[in-house]
Amino acid sequence: MQETSQLSNLVKNSKKEITLEAEKDFFVYSDPKFGFEMKLPNNIFTNNSQDNLAFGDDEISILSFSGKYQTNLIHAVLLIDSSNQSCDKNNSEKININDIDFLCSKPVIDKTAFEYIQNCYTIKNNLCFDIEYGISNFKEKILPMELNIEDVLLKNISFIESNQNTKP
């Protein structure tokens, strides 16, 4: 309960809108503090700063990106946690993309809520990167190939050395 309260206060007190850089077919988010860059396909995600939000402090950063594909609402949430460096998740399958090992849960399809959710995790720069990918208004029986997490998010993440511990 205390962790939920702390997270709620973090969200309330640190919310910032994100403006993404346009680059060819992508909107790009770059974070040198945590040492990564994520390219979000511009045929799915939006560059509307009200749809892309950041929350955080020195130990935790939460990034939320929204978009739409046909009638499906797409959500990508990235939790970067410096206090949890294990990222151990049960029942995860290892996926290697661009020489990065991700541990991914099996997708969950909620047919009554019309939602598709999948999580993937990796450790880079001594940080746990937890990526949650959600699709709302999902009425398909199977996920169309163009919406799988590997192609939409995982192959578009790159890591550089973090400057998290450097002093200005």
pLDDT tens-digit profile of 28-83?
A: 999 888 899 999 999 999 998 889 999 887 778 899 999 999 989 999 999 998 87
Look up the pTM and report it: 0.84
CB 154 within 8 A of CB 31: no
The 3-state DSSP class for residue 135 equals strand
Q: What is the DSSP letter of 76?
A: E
Average pLDDT on 156-161 reads: 90
Q: Quick one: which of 56, 72, 52 has its CA closest to 64?
A: 52
7-21, 128-142, 153-167 — most confident range: 128-142
Task: Show the tokens assigned to 138.
Answer: 């999902």
Task: Show the tokens assigned to 107.
Answer: 């997708």
Distances (CA, A) of 129 to 48, 74, 88, 113: 24, 19, 11, 27
Average pLDDT on 14-19 reads: 84
Question: What pLDDT sits at residue 81?
Answer: 86
